[in-house]
Structure 1
Amino acid sequence: MSMCLRHYYDTRDPLGAGGDFTTAPEISQMFGELIGLWMLEIWQAMGSPAPCRLIELGPGRGTLMADFLRATRLIPDFQSSVTVHLVETSSSLHERQRQMLATSGFHVTWHTRIEDVPEGPALLVANEFFDALPVRQFQATDRGWCERLVGLNDDRFVFGLRPEPEAALGKPPHEGAILEWPAASIDLMKGLSHRFANEGGAALIIDYGYWGPVLGDTLQALKRHDYHDPLYEPGEADLTTHVDFHHIAESAGRNRVRIHGPAMQGDFLDALGIAARAAALKQRATPAQAADIDSALSRLTARGPTEMGELFKVLAISHADIEAVPGLAPLQARL
């Protein structure tokens, strides 16, 4: 999964109508603007530290960050206090981001690893990033939980099982069940929460997923905005899994941080005032533009099992001194 996605993102721009999928920042400027205002409030709650590292993991075309930075111009001190750090491994997307942010007025630095971002208080956003981190899968058999692997049958990839079961996982409930273990996400959250506990700051994570534990195979591939066989044409389609927010929160909670959420994306955006922002934009819009704003508002906030407003969840982690964040309730009691 990691090898395929490294090739996939490094050889194309996957976003938009001509690509394979569309993310929330590409749907409307309102999304990035509200995230920017959320971060601005957190920065002030931190005591307006300078310098402060503003980090985005997997910044796509740079659209979210561009909208984010434009919204924060309300507080001039923010621009003079913050350095922007984009964690990106794709050279093609790197260039798109550079073009998008060229006139932002902020100093922007690129990194291929989060560990390379300088020390200090930090604000981090990760929109549709954790879903692309590799997972391990285990399938229930009469022998126990056996790891699901990828091998070759003639000239194409197929799934198979490791013969020896993973004893630490215990006895499966029934044969055929699939257990996903997001080891990469857990390791990343442990590192991030350690940083925030010791240096201050907060992270906002937005992705499609669920509050586990849940059994099931969520690995999927998207190509041209349609579902695709994950093992066919490796490296030519987007590979993702649904994010288990319980694992993320639990791994972060082992450090001295506060956890907020998760909440449905629709509820979160409503709490931040997306309807009022849409109304303000419509006041100076043409009828066609107003219709587009209404469509984007609905798409971002609509509830339903397959709608973005419900399918996508929002979780925040912060230094222990930040007791409350906009739009999210504290989670500590649930862990």
Structure 2
Amino acid sequence: MNYFYPFLIMSISKLKMFKQLLRLSKLTSKNLKQSRNYYTVKRKAINDEQYVAKQIKQKIQAKGPITVAEYMKEVLVNPMAGYYMHKDMLGESGDFITSPEITQMFGEMIAVWLINEWQKAGSPRPIHIIELGPGRGTLSNDILNVFNHFKVLHKASLHLVEVSPFLSSAQARRLCIQSSLTSNDGPAYRRGTSHHGIPVFWYNTLEEVPSGYSLLIAHEFFDALPVHKFHQVHGSFKEVLIDIDTKDESEKRGEYKFRYVLSRHETPMSKTLIRKGETRDHVEVAPDSILISQQIAERIKKLGGVALICDYGHYGNGTDTFRAFKEHKQVDPLVMPGTADLTADVDFKLLCSTFDSDKDILCMGPVTQREFLLETGLQYRFEMLKNTIKDGKRLKNLTDCYNYLIDNDKMGERFKFLAVFPAVMKKIFERCPVVGFQTAPH
């Protein structure tokens, strides 16, 4: 009785989610995998780790210092040797780890939340499940498992926006019984059939995804979008650029070193991207985040659906967050470009202002990952799974994974969630509030 008492004062929406969590217990309690075990993906050998550095040096020599956004784009998605293009960077053997890779409980909570909000809209079909930057496909796989468990995959399809040929191949191995690259007869460059029998498609951009009611997830996607950096000097903003470090002797040893410099004058981006009344000394703006937010808004308001954005970031008060990670350690982003992940904190205030500028869109959040997961029932899912485990080592592993997701000194506080709906859902939400977003409107 103690477990059920707190739910007596919850909304109808929360009660429905709890019932779904109880049904979910049958999904994985028998063969639980709290700690992920992955197939091995062979890394494509890069003959020259200095390839990207050479390309950047040549570009700077040809036209002068480049923006941080240009640098990020070259480092991350250079077709020949970009960081995301030819390697598996996730997991313990990679450079960083994400919430879905830690435990399946994360993906299960996302899936139950999506089903709950989909049902409020009247369970429309067909369903387009869309993930932006799906990594290894782990989150999509967990979502499909839960959707299949609740028998809601009828007339559903999975659409993955992924620019990396290497990662799209890894996603296909995880998600599909068969897949193949396509000819140029449509926007999708790869097609397949999932283990649950639904069609799966891969695209380079969100705009290429066909029309349909959309359940869209962007988990650790916006943090990888190229940022322009600006520094305020004597009341005006100068753009931070990247130049060759001519004083460094490392090139004689076959290495290339770069350095930050300030633009001498205002740049087109400093005139365009700096908001009026900006008081921070250091500002980072990702123009693509504005563009993609607008695309998400257009899709949701015209076709119906929901978008859930999950990332680490701030609410308009972040400053110098551009950094690099290699083997789970922070490293100099200007050293050995192409061998480490580049990232910058997401400005959720900028995302909110973009969505709020559209009167037909309803934006909720951001809330912390801890708030969202606990509100959606992670603690109860954890208790259900804990009761099925007899082995002490496995129980400790499950507990560690749970704590890693919600502890404030781990992922709980740093990661934020933002939800986007069509404004026509507002009256429904007045009766059945959106779970996870009731306590912190932006």
Q: Distance in 1 between matches of 2:211 and 2:337?
A: 37
Q: Distance in 2 between matches of 1:79 and 1:171?
A: 48
Aligned CA-pair RMSD: 1.8
Q: Distance in 1 between matches of 2:414 and 2:318?
A: 17
Between Structure 1 and Structure 2, the one with more strand by share is 1
Q: AA paired with 1:117? A: V
Q: 1:109 matched to which residue of 2?
A: 201
Q: 2:105 matched to which residue of 1?
A: 30
Alignment of 1:122-141 (within 5 A): 122-141=214-233
Q: 1:248 matched to which residue of 2?
A: 351
Of 305, 310, 326 in structure 1, the residue corresponding to residue 435 of structure 2 is 326
The offset of 1:281, in angstroms, is 1.4
The offset of 1:226, in angstroms, is 0.2
Alignment of 1:304-319 (within 5 A): 304=409, 307-319=410-422
Q: Distance in 2 between matches of 1:320 and 1:143?
A: 40
Alignment of 1:85-164 (within 5 A): 85-102=159-176, 103-142=195-234, 144-154=236-246, 155-164=256-265
Q: Distance in 2 between matches of 1:233 and 1:303?
A: 32
Q: AA paired with 1:329? A: Q
Q: AA paired with 1:253? A: D
The offset of 1:172, in angstroms, is 7.1
Q: Distance in 2 between matches of 1:211 and 1:309?
A: 16
CA contact (8 A) 1:66 1:104 kept: no
Alignment of 1:147-186 (within 5 A): 147-154=239-246, 155-165=256-266, 166=270, 169=274, 177-186=281-290
Shift in alpha-carbon separation, 1:141–1:108, aligned structure 2, 3 A: same
Q: Distance in 1 between matches of 2:286 and 2:204?
A: 21
Q: AA paired with 2:217? A: V
Q: AA paired with 1:300? A: L
CA contact (8 A) 2:148 2:196 kept: no
TM score, norm. by length of structure 2: 0.71
TM score, norm. by length of structure 1: 0.93
The offset of 1:142, in angstroms, is 2.6
Structure 1's unaligned 5+ residue stretches are: none
Secondary structure in 2 matching 1:32 = helix
The offset of 1:319, in angstroms, is 1.0
Of 89, 92, 117 in structure 2, the residue corresponding to residue 42 of structure 1 is 117
CA contact (8 A) 2:362 2:420 kept: yes
1:155-184: CA deviation from partner (whole Å, max 9, x where unpaired): 42211111113456468758xx21112211
Q: Distance in 1 between matches of 2:425 and 2:294?
A: 19
Q: Distance in 1 between matches of 2:401 and 2:220?
A: 18
Secondary structure in 2 matching 1:86 = strand
CA contact (8 A) 1:303 1:310 kept: yes
Shift in alpha-carbon separation, 1:82–1:163, aligned structure 2, 3 A: same
The offset of 1:91, in angstroms, is 1.2
Q: 1:19 matched to which residue of 2?
A: 94
Q: Distance in 2 between matches of 1:38 and 1:312?
A: 17
Q: 2:74 matched to which residue of 1?
A: 3
Shift in alpha-carbon separation, 1:321–1:156, aligned structure 2, 3 A: same
Shift in alpha-carbon separation, 1:126–1:246, aligned structure 2, 3 A: same
Identity rate of aligned residues, in percent?
37
Question: How many residues align structurally?
Answer: 327
State yes or no: 1:80 paired with 2:154: yes
Alignment of 1:183-222 (within 5 A): 183-212=287-316, 214=317, 216-222=319-325
Alignment of 1:220-235 (within 5 A): 220-235=323-338
CA contact (8 A) 1:220 1:239 kept: yes
Shift in alpha-carbon separation, 1:236–1:320, aligned structure 2, 3 A: same
Structure 2's unaligned 5+ residue stretches are: 1-71, 177-194, 247-255
Q: Distance in 1 between matches of 2:140 and 2:104?
A: 10
Q: AA paired with 1:299? A: Y
Q: 2:43 matched to which residue of 1?
A: none
Q: AA paired with 1:293? A: L
CA contact (8 A) 1:189 1:251 kept: yes
Secondary structure in 2 matching 1:321 = helix
Secondary structure in 2 matching 1:310 = coil
Q: AA paired with 1:81? A: K
